[in-house]
Structure 1
Amino acid sequence: MKVFTVHEPPEAGSGRLEGVTLVKEGFCWPALFIPAIWMLWHRMWWVLLGWLAIGVGLTVIGEIFARTGFVVGILSFVFSIWFALEANELRRWSLARKGWRMLGVAAGRDDEEAEQSFFRRVLTPAPTAGSAQRSVPARPPVVPRRPSGGSEPVVGLFPHPE
């Protein structure tokens, strides 16, 4: 089951659920294999600039210092994995900067099922307090019992019951 956050565009009025977008929680495979195209597709300009700056910085360090090629390669690999782990959170940040509002969380096998379950939950009126009947009878509260003052030994640190 995948978990998504649901975001509403800034131009949507209150109560109108048009143009929402779902952002998946967790690892983003496209951000690992085609990060620049993924950022351009989602119009994440500031994130793209930061990603390019770090990539160019690592390349310059690799060119300036001749014996750091292996270390720069490891750092580039770690940066790529980190970026793919944080890509969807950076997408949420970009949406928030553009005025998008998070409406809630949805879960499903894929984004279509999650969207359907979200709209089903949001658009279904909640039952009022008077109309909902409780199907399970209420249980009485559990009251701890005091041990009886019998002659049985107490297991633990205390040798005699009080």
Structure 2
Amino acid sequence: MATFLVLIPPGAKSRDESARIVRDRFSWLALVMPVIWLLWHRAWLAAALAFAVQALGSAVADHPVFSLAGLGLCLATSLLVALEGPSMVVAGLERRGWTIDAVISADDRETAEEIYYMETPAGEAETRDSVSLPASETSVRRHAPMLGLVGFKEGR
């Protein structure tokens, strides 16, 4: 199961057709090409920062003593974008006024869209018919011993 975040634009209502569905997952393409992936998803500031850090890592990698440190910096940047790229995209949309309308767990994007756009009866909210009480509230013997411990019915 994957997790999908549904964002709606400013001023839009729930289940709007212009909602954007973002899958929160690891991205292999972002691992291989982090700057291009960020540019594709219009995360301009994050793309510029990733480019600067990878350029610094490449410059450090040219030095014979710090070559592994430079390679590690480039790899860490790619890994960070691959893991947190969707979160960066969501944060960018939220800065522009978009709001998270729903979080959906589904097998694929089509199923997530079906769940999100599923019609409910005319303005009727989904509610539970009954409220379940904890087991201790429904028991006749309120202070009965549990797991072999002594009860405190008579006091200490």
TM-score scaled to structure 1, two decimals?
0.73
Partner of 1:7: 7
Where do 1:1-162 residues align within 5 Å? 1-10=1-10, 13-14=12-13, 17-63=16-62, 65-120=63-118, 123-125=119-121, 126=124, 141-142=138-139, 143-146=141-144
Unaligned runs of 5+ in 2: 151-155
Alpha-carbon separation, structure 1, partners of 2:112 and 2:14: 19
Quote the Cα distance in structure 2 between the aligned partners of 1:20 and 1:96.
13
Amino acid in structure 2 at the alignment position of 1:13: A
CA shift, 1:116, in A, is: 1.0
Say which is worse superposed, 88-97 or 27-36, in terms of deviation. 27-36
Provide the residue aligned with 1:150 in structure 2.
Answer: none
**Between Structure 1 and Structure 2, how many residues are aligned?**
143
Tell me, which stretches of 5 or more residues in structure 1 are unaligned? 148-154
Structure 1 residue 37, shift from structure 2 partner: 2.6
Equivalent-residue separation in structure 1 for 2:65 and 2:104 (angstroms): 49
Q: CA deviation at 1:9?
A: 2.0
How far the C-alpha of 1:100 sits from its partner, in A, is: 1.4
Structure 1 residue 104, shift from structure 2 partner: 1.3
Task: Please tell me the root mean square deviation across aligned C-alpha atoms, in Å.
Answer: 3.0
- What CA distance in whole angstroms lies between the structure 1 residues aligned with 2:101 and 2:69? 43
| Structure whose CA Rg is larger | 1
Residues 14 and 101 in structure 2, CA contact (< 8 A), matched pair in contact too = no
Percent identity between matched residues is 27
Q: How much does 1:79 deviate? A: 2.4
Contact 1:27 1:84 in 2 (8 A): yes
Whether the aligned pair in 2 keeps the contact of 1:31 and 1:84 (CA below 8 Å) is yes
CA distance in 2, matches of 1:78, 1:87: 13
Work out the CA distance in 2 between the residues paired with 1:124 and 1:54: 48
Equivalent residue of 2:104, what SS? strand
State the secondary structure of the residue aligned to 2:7.
Answer: strand
CA drift of 1:44 comes to 1.1
The verdict on how the C-alpha distance between 1:62 and 1:113 changes in structure 2, with shifts beyond 3 A counting, is same
Secondary structure, in 3 states, of the residue corresponding to 2:13? coil
